[in-house]
């Protein structure tokens, strides 16, 4: 059975995208604890650079923000903070990230988060012809046009890749 034929029930993210008429493809893989985007890319035969991680971070006042980064790159929190106009940026604890997003860590989608958060996207992600990003469940990516990030999430470009 191919990874595309396995049915995945709707998530808040896919419900929102369908409601907005956004086209996406579905890609299911076997979730591996701490495998991250590299494991998803490996199983699905994708370029890790096109698999985008959704990271919930917080500023110096513990206000949450979302950072979207290439799967094969890390975030420079210093560059992110400077460009986002905040004093510092740091990853949230998993349980805090879960509270903000409404998704389990490892299954965090930037779409339809519980709390509305500012979204920052590595600028080079927007230059890709297509990306794969979490669809709101562990082991589930959706393929979309990266411009959807700007259109739907008002994602702002940032140069924060290490």
Stated as kind and residue range, the H or E segment containing 88 is: none
Helix (H) or strand (E) holding 29: none
Domain ranges of the chain: 12-158
- The reported pLDDT for the residue numbered 132 is 98
**Burial of 160 per CB tally in 10 Å (0-12, 13-18, 19+):** buried
Give the pLDDT of the chain (162 residues) as one tens digit per residue: 334 445 678 999 999 999 999 999 999 999 999 899 999 999 999 999 999 999 999 999 999 999 999 999 999 999 999 999 999 999 999 999 999 999 999 999 999 999 999 999 999 999 999 999 999 999 999 999 999 999 999 999 999 999
Q: Please state the length of the chain.
A: 162
80 touches 69 (CB < 8 A): no
pLDDT of residue 103: 97
Is the CATH number of domain 12-158 3.90.960.10?
yes
């Amino acid at each position: 059975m191919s990874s595309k034929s396995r049915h995945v029930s709707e998530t808040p993210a896919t419900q929102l995208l369908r409601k907005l008429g956004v086209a996406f493809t579905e890609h299911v893989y076997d979730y591996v604890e701490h495998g991250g985007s590299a494991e998803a890319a490996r199983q699905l035969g994708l370029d890790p650079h096109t698999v985008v991680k959704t990271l919930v971070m917080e500023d110096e006042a513990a206000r949450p923000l979302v950072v979207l980064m290439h799967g094969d790159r890390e975030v420079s929190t210093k560059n992110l903070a400077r460009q986002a106009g905040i004093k510092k940026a740091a990853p949230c604890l998993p349980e805090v990230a879960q509270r903000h997003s409404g998704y389990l860590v490892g299954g965090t989608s930037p779409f339809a988060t519980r709390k509305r958060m500012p979204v920052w996207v590595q600028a080079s992600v927007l230059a890709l012809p297509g990306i794969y990003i979490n669809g709101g469940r562990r082991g589930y990516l959706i393929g979309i046009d990266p411009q959807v990030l700007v259109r739907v999430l008002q994602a702002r470009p940032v140069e924060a890749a290490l």
